[in-house]
């Protein structure tokens, strides 16, 4: 990918959920299964459907019905990174897009589906906390510029992906640590929440977006000096979620 992109590495990484693996890395020691993606979002976006192919990027793809994510260049194979900056100078073959999906997207979702199925079969229902980071600029317009900005945005697709009591419990764990929490604005949950969130079937998915400015310098992609403080806070949050989830709500994080 580095040889194909027209961007420098720092710009290419602007869409990365940087350091999220470290922030939630203590989950297994607290009793929560953890699935970490090792594929960068700029290469293939695991939070998109396989049919979200961008005709402006991929050869041989027909322009489909209007999909704002694809139109903006954020399909399953992204055309742009943060700020709308193009990743490539031209188009890529459809075979390359399919290869990325087959070798990266499919194994990840196979593992995720198996994990959730095991949890539900064992405990009757399962909760997936789908963890991401969001650029600070993404929330600058929230609340119309009035009042403090949220530190975390929880997305449950307006109740379609998780029961309200599950989201309430996760929000309480966050607010108890002094974090400001918003729901569904500006992120209501994307493909993973849409695909796996089936509350009536005991499958609850909550997308969690954490403001990157809380723990890193977004310009240099380096950790803030107090990074370990937020990591410790997240350990307490995860511990609270696991505690309130037991014994009937097992937790998975990814």
- Enclosing domain of residue 35: 9-253
pLDDT of residue 130: 97
The predicted model gives 29-50 an average pLDDT of 94
- Tell me whether residue 27 is in a domain: yes
**CA separation for the pair 82, 71 (Å, rounded):** 14
Count of domains in the chain?
1
Q: pLDDT, tens digit, for every residue of 112-165?
A: 999 999 989 988 889 999 999 999 988 887 766 677 899 999 999 999 999 999
CATH number of the domain that 197 lies in? 3.40.630.40
Q: What is the pLDDT of residue 246?
A: 59
Per-residue pLDDT, 253: 63
Alpha-carbon dihedral sign for residues 103, 33, 183, 13? negative
**Residue 3 domain-assigned?**
no
pLDDT at 79 over 90: yes
Measured in residues, the chain has a length of 254
A 10 A CB-CB count for 106 gives 12
Residues 6+ apart with CB under 8 A from 44: 76, 77, 100, 101, 104, 105
pLDDT value at residue 2 = 86
Q: pTM of the predicted model, to two decimals?
A: 0.92
Residue 250, pLDDT above cutoff 70: no
Q: DSSP states of 33-44 as a string?
A: -B----S-TTT-
The arithmetic mean of pLDDT across residues 244-253, rounded, is: 58
Confidence of residue 95 (pLDDT cuts 50, 70, 90): very high
Q: Is residue 4 part of a domain?
A: no
Give the pLDDT score at 91. 95
166-207 pLDDT, tens digit each: 999 999 999 999 999 999 999 999 999 999 999 999 999 999
Domain annotation covers residue 215: yes
Average pLDDT over residues 87-105: 96
Distance CA 10, CA 64 (A): 32
Is 110 inside any structural domain?
yes
Angle between the N-to-C axes of helices 227-245 and 164-175, in degrees from 0 to 180, rounded to the nearest 10? 140
Give the rounded percent of residues in the chain with a pLDDT score beyond 70: 94
Query: What sign does the CA torsion over 223, 74, 108, 209 have?
Result: positive
Q: What is the pLDDT of residue 242?
A: 86
61 within domain boundaries: yes
Predicted confidence at residue 187, as pLDDT, reads: 93
Q: How far apart are CA 165 and CA 192, in angstroms?
A: 20
């Amino acid at each position: 990918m580095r040889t194909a992109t027209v961007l420098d590495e720092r710009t290419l990484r602007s869409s990365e959920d940087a350091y999220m693996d470290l922030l939630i890395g203590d989950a297994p020691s607290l009793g929560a299964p953890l699935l970490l993606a090792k594929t960068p979002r700029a290469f293939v976006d695991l939070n998109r459907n396989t049919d979200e192919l961008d005709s402006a990027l991929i050869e041989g793809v027909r322009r489909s019905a209007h999909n704002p994510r694809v139109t903006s260049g954020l399909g399953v194979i992204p055309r742009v990174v943060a700020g709308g900056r193009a990743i490539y100078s031209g188009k890529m073959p459809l075979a390359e897009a399919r290869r990325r999906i087959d070798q990266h997207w499919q194994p990840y979702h196979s593992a995720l589906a198996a994990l959730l199925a095991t949890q539900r079969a064992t405990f009757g229902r399962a909760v997936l906390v789908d963890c991401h980071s969001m650029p600070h600029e993404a929330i600058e317009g929230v609340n119309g510029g009035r009042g403090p900005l949220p530190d975390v945005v929880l997305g449950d697709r307006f109740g379609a992906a998780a029961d309200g009591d599950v989201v309430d419990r996760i929000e309480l764990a966050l607010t108890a640590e002094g974090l400001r929490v918003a729901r569904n604005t500006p992120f209501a949950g994307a493909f993973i929440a849409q695909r796996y969130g089936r509350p009536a079937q005991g499958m609850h998915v909550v997308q969690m977006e954490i403001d990157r400015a809380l723990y890193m310098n977004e310009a240099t992609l380096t950790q803030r000096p107090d990074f370990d403080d937020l990591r410790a806070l997240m350990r307490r949050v995860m511990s609270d979620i696991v505690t309130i989830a037991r014994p009937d709500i097992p937790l998975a994080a990814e």
